[in-house]
């Protein structure tokens, strides 16, 4: 059975959660490997909407085990709240079904306070537009070797000593940024309780996945964010603080690269972005408004309106290279129904000359001019279409143009938020 990595090819919110939920029908494991509760993965099941921030999107299939890997940063308060919310909805979330890496790092209250204070004190042009969840400061501490792993919350004396030292420095920084210092006792007591609550869920998830692999289980790796939010290859510094690329599924879960069979890239039929940073095909006009309203493009985590624009195939081609993508899932094609004309970016010009790459600097990226193909749209509602051939000719042409340009097969086509609104053209697991 396969091990498949699913990643976003744009700036996040491509519909990864929905596709993972559809694929989970047959998977034994769904594994998050990076990011934290900056993610918001929305699933619509029988008209009911669920937003997951930290628990993998496989949780609605009762026979699947969900794993939070070592590369994830976990806000224990948010995780516990999410577990309890799901339980109230009648979803079984037990230590048998949810496995959390003891090595995953903990988002502490000072991480969130620092994230918010830095954004609040930055000039407009230096602001990243983060989700304010403490993600960046937590990864800084992990790499700076000042972090707490979830397992540390169960070691009372060790935790007390280390927290005392670390908090002193954090409070100094918070004061410098004009924010309130935090109280040691309050954090210490609260996080010990979190540690106790989470202890039954903690394990060595690498060993768990290794055993599963040897048994021949089907494992899905669920990326968060998207390729152009990657800390190395995204539009730096307007990125998140983890590697979002498929390669990090391995380091972020302790799973060897030679065991991965396929990489599925999720492509939204147009482009969106939340937060600051360059966006070559952005439409700050009635087209952008149309996409935002029709596509419900408001952040699942922060509720912010998402910036919207045309599909950018230069980005998708770059994403194929960076992730080793073997198949694509095209989502939200239904949102384009009703547009008179549809544009697709098939190249960039920089200072009047065509370029064949995605620039690495913000300076160049803000200057590139998209080269568009201009296609006729279609009027028909396509949400109920269950067969590719039944799509309007213009929609088929749009899909084929993407495939021809990218040279990777579109294996899944999503035409609405529900599980049923999905055409599987070729099952990515074979
Ligand atoms: P993720 O972060 O990549 O999982 O994506 P989000 O959940 O943040 O955003 C995708 C949104 O689009 C969610 O509200 C989904 O319910 C919705 N969605 C997913 N696929 C489709 C689709 O094919 N058509 C429509 N209309 N909505 C979709
Ligand atoms: P999913 O998994 C879209 C963006 C933020 C900001 C930048 C840095 O739902 O696709 P951070 O809080 O990570 O330090 O913010 O990254 N961002 C996302 N945008 N979807 C996400 O996740 C995102 N997670 C972070 O808006 O621009
Ligand atoms: Mg999202």
Instruction: State the average pLDDT over residues 329-340.
Output: 98
- Average pLDDT of the residues in 338-346: 98
Instruction: Name the average pLDDT for the chain.
Output: 97
pLDDT confidence of residue 104 = 98
Distance between CA atoms of residues 361 and 269, nearest Å: 25
For ion ligand 3, residues whose CB falls within 5 Å: 13, 40, 300
User: How many whole angstroms separate alpha carbon 115 and alpha carbon 391?
Assistant: 46
Residue 263 Cα, ligand 1 centroid: separation in angstroms? 19
- The ligand that comes nearest to the alpha carbon of residue 39 is 2
Q: What is the pLDDT of residue 1?
A: 80
- What average pLDDT does this structure show over 357-382? 97
Give residue 125's pLDDT band: very low, low, confident or very high (50, 70, 90). Answer: confident
CB of 128 within 6 A of ligand 2: the answer is yes
- C-alpha to C-alpha distance for 133 and 115, rounded to whole angstroms: 7
Question: For 64-71, what is the mean pLDDT?
Answer: 98
Inter-CA distances, 218 with 52, 116, 250, 265, 429, Å: 22, 40, 15, 18, 9
- Pairwise CA distance, residues 151 & 195, whole Å: 7
Q: Catalytic amino acids?
A: 13, 41
Q: Is 39 in the pocket of ligand 2 (CB under 6 A)?
A: yes
pLDDT tens-digit series, residues 274-319: 999 999 999 999 999 999 999 999 988 888 999 999 999 999 999 9
- The model's pLDDT over 127-151, given as tens digits with 9 standing for 90+, comes to 999 999 999 999 999 999 999 999 9
Cβ(297) – ligand 2 distance below 6 Å: no
Domains in the chain and their CATH numbers? 3-96+204-424 (3.40.440.10), 105-201 (1.10.300.10)
Pocket of ligand 1 contains residue 297 by CB under 6 Å: no
What is the pLDDT at residue 124?
85
Residue 300's pLDDT is 85
With a cut of 80, say whether residue 430 has pLDDT above it: no
Residue with CA nearest ligand 2 atom 15: 130
Residue 266 CB less than 6 A away from ligand 2? no
Element counts in the chain: helices (H) and strands (E): 12, 20
From the CA of 17, which ligand is nearest? 1
Which of 15, 30, 303 for a ligand 1 pocket mutation test, highest count of atoms within 8 Å of Cβ? Answer: 15
Is the pLDDT at 29 greater than 80? The verdict is: yes
**How many whole angstroms from 40 Cα to the centroid of ligand 2?**
9
In degrees rounded to 5, what are phi and psi of residue 137?
-60, -30
Q: What would the pLDDT profile of 85-121 be if each residue is shown by its tens digit?
A: 999 999 999 999 999 999 999 999 999 999 999 999 9
Task: Average the pLDDT over 210-229 and give the result.
Answer: 98
Residue 58 has pLDDT above 80, yes or no: yes
């Amino acid at each position: 059975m396969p091990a498949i990595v699913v990643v976003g090819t744009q700036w996040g919110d491509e519909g990864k959660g929905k596709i993972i939920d559809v694929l989970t029908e047959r998977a034994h494991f769904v594994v998050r490997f990076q990011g934290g509760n900056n993610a918001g993965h929305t699933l619509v099941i029988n008209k009911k909407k669920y937003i997951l921030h930290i628990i993998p999107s496989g949780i609605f299939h009762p026979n699947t085990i969900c794993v939070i890997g070592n590369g994830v940063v976990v806000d224990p308060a948010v995780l516990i709240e999410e577990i309890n919310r799901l339980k109230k909805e009648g979803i079984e979330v037990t230590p048998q079904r949810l496995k959390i890496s003891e090595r995953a790092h903990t988002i502490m209250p000072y991480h969130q306070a620092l994230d918010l204070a830095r954004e609040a004190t930055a000039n407009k042009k230096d602001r990243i537009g983060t989700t304010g969840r403490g993600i960046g400061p937590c990864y800084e501490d992990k790499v700076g070797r000042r972090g707490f792993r979830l397992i540390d919350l169960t070691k009372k004396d060790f935790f007390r000593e280390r927290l005392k030292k670390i908090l002193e420095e954090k409070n100094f920084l918070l004061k410098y940024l004009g924010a309130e210092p935090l109280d040691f006792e309050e954090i210490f007591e609260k996080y010990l309780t979190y540690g106790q609550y989470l202890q039954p869920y903690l394990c060595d998830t690498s060993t768990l996945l290794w055993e599963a692999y040897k048994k021949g289980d089907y494992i899905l790796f669920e990326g968060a964010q998207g390729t152009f939010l990657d800390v190395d290859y995204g539009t730096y510094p307007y990125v998140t603080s983890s590697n979002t690329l498929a390669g990090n599924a391995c380091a972020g879960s302790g799973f060897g690269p030679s065991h991965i069979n396929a990489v599925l890239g999720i492509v939204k039929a147009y482009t969106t972005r939340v937060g600051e940073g360059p966006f070559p095909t952005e439409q700050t006009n009635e087209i952008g408004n149309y996409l935002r309203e029709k596509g419900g493009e408001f952040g699942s985590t922060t509720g912010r309106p998402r910036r919207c624009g045309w599909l950018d195939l230069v980005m998708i081609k770059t994403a194929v290279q960076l992730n080793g993508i073997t198949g694509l899932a095209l989502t939200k094609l239904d949102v384009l129904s009703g547009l008179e004309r549809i544009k697709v970016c098939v190249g960039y010009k920089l200072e009047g000359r065509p370029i064949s790459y995605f620039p690495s600097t913000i300076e160049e990226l803000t200057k590139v001019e998209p080269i568009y193909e201009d296609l006729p749209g279609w009027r028909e509602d396509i949400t109920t279409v269950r067969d590719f051939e039944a799509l309007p000719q213009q929609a088929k042409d749009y899909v084929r143009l993407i495939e021809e340009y990218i040279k990777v097969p579109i294996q899944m086509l999503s035409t609405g938020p529900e599980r049923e609104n999905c055409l599987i053209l070729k099952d990515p697991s074979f």
